Structure 1
Amino acid sequence: MSQWTGIIGSFCFRAIYAWSSSAPHNWIGLAVFVAILTFVPRCYYGMEHVRRQQVILDHLKLEGPRDGGKVEASVCMAQEVQSRKLEDHDDDVVVVAAYRTALCKARRGGFKDTPAEDMLAPVLKAVVESTGINPAEIGDIVIGTVLAPGAQRATDCRIASFFAGIPETVPLRTVNRQCSSSLQAIADVAAAIKCGFYEIGIGGGVESMTKDAMGLDRKVNPRTQTCQQAADCLLPMGVTSENVAARFNVTREEQDKAALVSHQRAAAATAEGRFKDEIIPVQTKIVDPTTGDEKPVVISVDDGIRPNAALADLAKLKPVFKKDGTTTAGNSSQITDGAAAVLLMKRGLAVKRGLPILGVFRSFAAVGVDPAIMGVGPAVAIPAAVKQAGLELSDIDLYEVNEAFASQFVYCAKVLDLDMEKVNVNGGAMAIGHPLGTTGARATATLLHEMKRRGKDCRYGVVSMCIGTGMGAAAVFERGSSVDQYSYARPISEHNYLSRDAK
């Protein structure tokens, strides 16, 4: 710009000088020439001074009368290169409510006589009522579930939505990505909101492992035996646990110690009331198997936790899947019943309605791994999701990594060099339980409520799990109320579908 100003100025100077020299009264032309040389630069520099003042004033904005006319700094251009104000990201997807039921032992716990729809309905109702939204505004409900026949469970979930008081105009569907089903449901809702399909949605999960047993009930395609990876998809999950332990030298002692820590942490969290903010009490019934008598109960506490667990007792348990193996009932996840739900919406809408933001959904990644060692999934998925969010593993303050089996949990934590003081701080699936379709949403609720308790020192959290048939999934959340004025997420070049902050 300055180059063109010089060229134009030089041209004008020569033209005026030539005219003044050839004029019949040279003194008149000279006077005009001097006047132009005197006033034009002053006008130019005066305008430039005003422009610079305006730039400075633009960096101070006067808020409206409701805010008392307070003046505050805005982002200047230099800062904007480094970061972007969160107020510019009204289309961020945020979590405003996350609840779960207590998790109970299948076939002998608190929900053994409770249908899936009666577990799901209370958490759906809770996320709606706690936020005060009109349920008719919900754009979609996506529920993760695994074991029940698809059409049957889809019907159960639709029934649950009516039990929760959600109107018929709100659609619902189920999703099955095995152990990550409800995390996938949350990611699906977040993606739909980000795309503008709707502004409010619920992602959740439900599983009754009492009613719906694990295992295939159909004839296996004989072609499966011609492809090793296809055949490995049919391996019992416990066998894949043994494969991980053998291939990566995870000892029995390491596994039992991990199980003990899980029970100790879960017991402490329960005793200190750390789960109360996330658990919705459920009114249900317990049926006496001998008399058939029904007893009304309120279930509000996870019933699989063993406060008195001891390493010596765990060491006495026999391997389940391999004669000389290391995987036992004590260092595996518990077969469990339960449900969970998460309400998501755009940040701008949440702020407009004055809703507290539990967390910001930053990224999601699902990856594939060798089916024979399916438990290594989190070791691949966590770095993928963290990179997608524009972060490093060192930026993550808290992890919820599903403890499908101690072998795979220990391996993933070890290979990623995770600080175990940041991982499953309130225990995991070996103590609390692993209702397959519920786990992702349960872990999300636990993570976000713990991040809220920890405050400003806990900014980023990860939820992850391994997935049967050889996959892993992970999601990154940012604690909503901990976000400062600027985002310092590192820029990335691809796969940034859900977060503008990372650009």
Structure 2
Amino acid sequence: MTKAVIVGAVRSPIGRRGGALSGLHPVDLTAQVLNGLAREVGIEPENIDDVVWGCVSQVHEQAGDIARTAVLAAGWPLSVTGVTVDRQCGSSQQAVHFAAAGLVAGHYDVVVAGGTESMSWVPMGSPMGDRDAFGPAFTERFGSVPFQGDGAELIARTWGFTRRQMDELGLRSHELAAAAQDRGDFDDQIVPITLPDGSVFAQDEGVRRGGSLEKMGAIAPAFGADGLIAAGNASQISDGAAALLMTTQEKAEELGLRPLAVVHTAALAGDDPIMMLTAPIPATEKALKRSGLSLSDIGTFEFNEAFAAPLLAWLQEIGADPALVNPQGGAIALGHPLGASGARLMTTMVHRMQADGTRYGLQTMCEGGGQSNATILERA
């Protein structure tokens, strides 16, 4: 049976909103990451059939099929196509699923999957503007759709999480990310980005050091005076891009490429679009059932820390060992560039599995509309 394998995984360093990457056009950011991937793997771009690319806010500088635009900006041959995917925060994880399916079906020999989001250039919510994006039939069924932060508030109150519990998770994220930076864990996965002024940006800039629960507890709630969600227990608004080169085992051997991981299982799940962020629970259950693996078989997890509350709910319902989840920090510390986050998590997980000799890793994330992707990788 044909299997889809990952032979390369890179990412940009993640920039804060208004930070180091805020002066670089998102197309040029994407092009640099694509070229960094080709250099890392040692493949000529002419061998790549397609670029499947996640991006949530596909307007303004990220409009016009940014995947194809970036391919051309990177100087790749005109024969290399690109398509842009939107499954909200899971867009680039979905890009991996689409790429894997295309490889197994024989539609591709070699494909890039990944994503980008420059939230400094195109703020969250820009595609909707002041228009009604949902329409009367949806509204009649569900009412008005809250912001994702309101969904996190609902989760916190439904599961009974305290502000302190969520702040503890946020502090852990920063401490683990800082330790990973200090060890050089991210060095091999990061493509240094040349900025318009000629300087080079090479380290995630959202990680905060020297934090404490007292400092976090002093941060004002973000969604109402009596709210539980605050900046210390929520992901950062960020800029970044990430990319994975994928092929089949047979093609990898033909091209002399070393597989890093096999896409073992891919699953999707939907849940309440108002609470919105709980679908990783059924997605994980579905992925485990489909894979034939048990929870104890999974040696590492990546769960996107859009907010602390959905991760805490997932931990409680799934029963995963917290020590195995986001052991190098998550989006609360590293940032959450929406369309890039799925590929960023997977890049980090692939490199960790290689370094630690972990056989199976599972990644999942909450997504707009009450959806979730879950992916199980097997180290090659």
Band of TM-score, shorter chain:
over 0.9
Distance 1:435 1:167 in 2: 28
Q: Compared with structure 1, are the counterparts of its residues 152 and 308 closer, same or farther at alpha carbon in structure 2 (3 Å cutoff)?
A: closer
Q: In the alignment, is residue 185 of structure 1 matched against residue 95 of structure 2?
A: yes
Equivalent AA in structure 2 for residue 97 of structure 1:
G
Distance 1:312 1:111 in 2: 31
Secondary structure at 2:246 match in 1: strand
- Give 1:330's match in structure 2, choosing from 227, 232, 242: 232
Note the C-alpha offset of 1:152.
4.9
Equivalent AA in structure 1 for residue 294 of structure 2:
E
Secondary structure at 2:364 match in 1: strand
Structure 1: stretches of 5+ with no match in the other structure:
1-88, 286-294, 481-503
Distance 1:429 1:470 in 2: 19
- Give 1:195's match in structure 2, choosing from 105, 126, 133: 105
The 8 Å contact of residues 282 and 298 in structure 1, kept in 2 or not, is answered as yes
Equivalent in the alignment of 2:367: 467
Note the C-alpha offset of 1:383.
1.6
Q: In the alignment, is residue 442 of structure 1 matched against residue 344 of structure 2?
A: yes
The 8 Å contact of residues 26 and 62 in structure 2, kept in 1 or not, is answered as no
The 8 Å contact of residues 263 and 431 in structure 1, kept in 2 or not, is answered as yes
Equivalent in the alignment of 2:211: 309
The 8 Å contact of residues 71 and 81 in structure 2, kept in 1 or not, is answered as no
Distance 1:271 1:189 in 2: 34
Q: Compared with structure 1, are the counterparts of its residues 131 and 152 closer, same or farther at alpha carbon in structure 2 (3 Å cutoff)?
A: closer
The 8 Å contact of residues 395 and 460 in structure 1, kept in 2 or not, is answered as yes
Equivalent in the alignment of 2:255: 353
Structure 2: stretches of 5+ with no match in the other structure:
none
- TM-score (structure 1 length as normaliser): 0.73
Q: How big is each residue's C-alpha offset from its partner over 1:8-43, in whole Å with a ceiling of 9 and x where there is no partner?
A: xxxxxxxxxxxxxxxxxxxxxxxxxxxxxxxxxxxx
Equivalent AA in structure 2 for residue 468 of structure 1:
G
- Give 1:131's match in structure 2, choosing from 41, 50, 74: 41
Q: Compared with structure 1, are the counterparts of its residues 150 and 195 closer, same or farther at alpha carbon in structure 2 (3 Å cutoff)?
A: farther
Q: Compared with structure 1, are the counterparts of its residues 314 and 196 closer, same or farther at alpha carbon in structure 2 (3 Å cutoff)?
A: same
Structure 1 segments (4+ residues) deviating >4 Å: none
The 8 Å contact of residues 154 and 173 in structure 1, kept in 2 or not, is answered as no
Q: Compared with structure 1, are the counterparts of its residues 341 and 311 closer, same or farther at alpha carbon in structure 2 (3 Å cutoff)?
A: same
Equivalent AA in structure 2 for residue 358 of structure 1:
L
Note the C-alpha offset of 1:118.
1.4
Deviates more, 1:121-130 or 1:334-343: 121-130
Note the C-alpha offset of 1:129.
2.3
The 8 Å contact of residues 239 and 322 in structure 1, kept in 2 or not, is answered as no
Q: Compared with structure 1, are the counterparts of its residues 175 and 282 closer, same or farther at alpha carbon in structure 2 (3 Å cutoff)?
A: same
Equivalent in the alignment of 1:8: none
Q: How does 1:227-376 map to 2 (within 5 A)?
A: 227-229=140-142, 231-232=143-144, 234-285=145-196, 295-376=197-278
Equivalent in the alignment of 2:53: 143
Kindly report the root-mean-square deviation, in angstroms, between the aligned alpha carbons of the 2 structures.
Answer: 1.6
Which structure is richer in relative contact order (CA contacts within 8 A, separation 6 or more)?
2
Distance 1:248 1:195 in 2: 42
- TM-score (structure 2 length as normaliser): 0.95
The 8 Å contact of residues 383 and 393 in structure 1, kept in 2 or not, is answered as no
The 8 Å contact of residues 61 and 121 in structure 2, kept in 1 or not, is answered as no
Equivalent AA in structure 2 for residue 176 of structure 1:
D
Distance 1:113 1:203 in 2: 25
Deviates more, 1:346-355 or 1:174-183: 346-355
Q: Compared with structure 1, are the counterparts of its residues 303 and 151 closer, same or farther at alpha carbon in structure 2 (3 Å cutoff)?
A: closer
The 8 Å contact of residues 102 and 301 in structure 1, kept in 2 or not, is answered as yes
Q: How big is each residue's C-alpha offset from its partner over 1:408-465, in whole Å with a ceiling of 9 and x where there is no partner?
A: 111111211110111000000000000000000000100000011102xx10001110
Note the C-alpha offset of 1:222.
6.1
Equivalent in the alignment of 1:100: 11
Equivalent in the alignment of 1:30: none
- Give 1:378's match in structure 2, choosing from 276, 280, 297: 280
Q: How big is each residue's C-alpha offset from its partner over 1:179-198, in whole Å with a ceiling of 9 and x where there is no partner?
A: 00000011101100100012
Equivalent in the alignment of 2:70: 160
The 8 Å contact of residues 89 and 338 in structure 2, kept in 1 or not, is answered as yes
The 8 Å contact of residues 242 and 322 in structure 1, kept in 2 or not, is answered as no
The 8 Å contact of residues 281 and 298 in structure 1, kept in 2 or not, is answered as yes
